[in-house]
Amino acid sequence: MSVDPHVYGAGGLGQGKRPHGCVLTIFGASGDLTRRKLIPALYNLALERRLPERFAVIGYARSEMTHEVFRSKMREAVSQFSRTGLKDESVWNDFAANLYFIPGSYDESNGYRQLQDFVGGFDRGSRVPPIRVFYLALPPDLYAPVIEQLAAIGLAAKENARDGRTRVVIEKPFGTDLETARELNRRVHEVLDENQVYRIDHYLGKETVQNIMVFRFANAVFEPIWNRRYVDHVQITAAESVGVENRGGYYEDAGVVRDMFQNHLLQLFCLTAMEPPVAFSADAVRDEKGKLLRSVRPIFVDDVARIAVRGQYGPGKFAGNEVKGYRQEPGVANGSNTETYAAIKLFIDNWRWEGVPFYLRSGKRMAKRVSEIAIQFKRPPLLLFRSCAVDDVNPNVLVVRIQPDEGISLTFEVKPPGPDICVSPLSLDFNYEEGFGSAPPEAYETLLEDCIEGDSTLFTRHDWVESAWSLMDPIIQAWRRTAPKDFPNYEAGSWGPKEADEFMQRDGRRWRRP
């Protein structure tokens, strides 16, 4: 199947307007995120002519570096990490000519003065006031201090207007629990209006994740069955084959609930289950996501053992190689009790979803890297197929494959050729690459473009972050209160702990093995 390419490829939901000029400052420019994601994404936007006509990037970090050294490091980063490699030397040269570096500290004023001079100079060379984006690719304890320094030097202030020109992008994690998230929101809002704040969740920039809304609300056939009358349950999986790699220090405190559930999994959950928004605008979409989270049946610390399972990977094998257990990873304590796997069952107390369980699971070092949303429909009445074993009649499953092998499939039962009336599953399959002739763009391309254009639909609003923490906090607290008895309880390269399978069996269901 092929698709009209003209409708594909633009950033986000296309609500924003490309400004004439933009200066984007990356705080944390010597870090991994800048090298692996941000600069390669900006280069690809340049390649596709999706950046403003006047555009400059300033890398800001503590290390001393000349513009030239920064440019050559970023050139290497693009060759290594951009999805197109360094495809076009002349595009790179134009891009690099507008790439600068300013050394400075984050929580003291030195460096900010130079930044102010640069940004002011860029303004003077523009016909219309350019957009200013400040990207905080920093450890979370620096978010508020940097915003406060920007305010002190006059580079950030409240702009009530929707089309204000100063925007601040804040990476995850936004707080470590409800209290810290509230405090951070409070400090951010002392300097900025909410419409200037772009809290990033890179899952929302994935093409397949954006497609959930289009698929649900642009097709009339699915909406009538998207509810408790037809859906048996939903499974949302984000399985990773990698371990914690070199992030042991961060992960020890975070664990899988903070790292994956409070943000990415709950976002997927909201897009799957929310009501249709009144418009495809930032606030309308985010209002619906907020309402959905507020309809989730609250979790109490004492319930956690019933509705959630935790796990930690031990040594095992992946792709034929021996791999370390979590406790053997660098930066991880020998007797660590941090969870690297969790499965959580949520119920939504609203008219559409009453009684339908949503099972969310995520883990590191699992058998396969796969993220998907599977809507399993109820079984049909079986009277007609008595000669088949019950298990042979599979329920219909609609799967949105987030990654890899991005696409959507719907399984249904057919009669295989032959004299007997029996049933066998087949699927209708849509694959992005086949459909559109190319792999989807990187999430950071979409999100950076949206931010430059002032479209915050795919960014997280302050109330959502707080609701997400208040849902997840009791689980984190319950697991801190009682140490696990059996960690590590799943082998690296497996599908998670056996308790997770038993957890599903108790509900008469089983996990998919995508």
Active site residues: 264
* 8 A C-beta contact, residue 192 and residue 156: yes
Task: Please state, in angstroms and as integers, the Cα–Cα distance from residue 500 to each residue in 80, 310, 362, 493, following that order.
Answer: 38, 8, 11, 15
Task: Please state, in angstroms and as integers, the Cα–Cα distance from residue 248 to each residue in 20, 38, 254, 361, following that order.
Answer: 42, 23, 10, 21
Q: Would you say 371 or 489 has its CB closer to ligand BG6?
A: 371
Of positions 24, 122, 240, 500, contacts ligand BG6 by CB under 6 A: 240
366: which DSSP letter?
B
CB of 494 to ligand BG6, least distance (A): 18
Q: Would you say 103 or 363 has its CB closer to ligand BG6?
A: 363
DSSP string of 145-195? HHHHHHHHTTS-----STT-SEEEEEPSP--SSHHHHHHHHHHHHHHS-GG
Ranges within 344-373 binding ligand BG6 (CB under 6 A): 371
Sorted by sequence, the CB contacts under 8 Å of residue 166 that are 6+ apart come out as: 131, 132, 134, 155, 156, 157, 159, 192, 196
Q: Residue count at the site for ligand BG6 (CB under 6 A)?
A: 3
Q: Is 442 in the site for ligand BG6 (CB under 6 A)?
A: no
The pair phi, psi for residue 498, each rounded to 5°, is -70, -25
CB of 153 to ligand BG6, least distance (A): 31
* 8 A C-beta contact, residue 29 and residue 67: no
The four Cα atoms 169, 175, 176, 177 give a dihedral, to 10 degrees, of: -130
Q: Would you say 60 or 251 has its CB closer to ligand BG6?
A: 251
CB of 371 to ligand BG6, least distance (A): 6
Q: What are the start-end ranges of the H helices in 27-139?
A: 32-33, 39-47, 67-81, 89-97, 112-124
Sorted by sequence, the CB contacts under 8 Å of residue 199 that are 6+ apart come out as: 169, 170, 172, 174, 459, 460, 461, 462, 465
Q: Would you say 248 or 277 has its CB closer to ligand BG6?
A: 248
Q: Is 259 in the site for ligand BG6 (CB under 6 A)?
A: yes
Q: Would you say 5 or 404 has its CB closer to ligand BG6?
A: 404
Ranges within 362-421 binding ligand BG6 (CB under 6 A): 371
For the record, the structure tokens of 148 come out as 């406060």
CB of 60 to ligand BG6, least distance (A): 22
CB of 243 to ligand BG6, least distance (A): 10
CB of 362 to ligand BG6, least distance (A): 9
For the record, the structure tokens of 454 come out as 């002032």
Residue written as tokens 């599979």? 394
Q: How many residues does the chain have?
A: 514
CB of 341 to ligand BG6, least distance (A): 12
- Ranked by CB distance to ligand BG6, the top (closest) residue is 259
Q: Is 445 in the site for ligand BG6 (CB under 6 A)?
A: no
Residues that bind ligand BG6 (CB under 6 A): 240, 259, 371
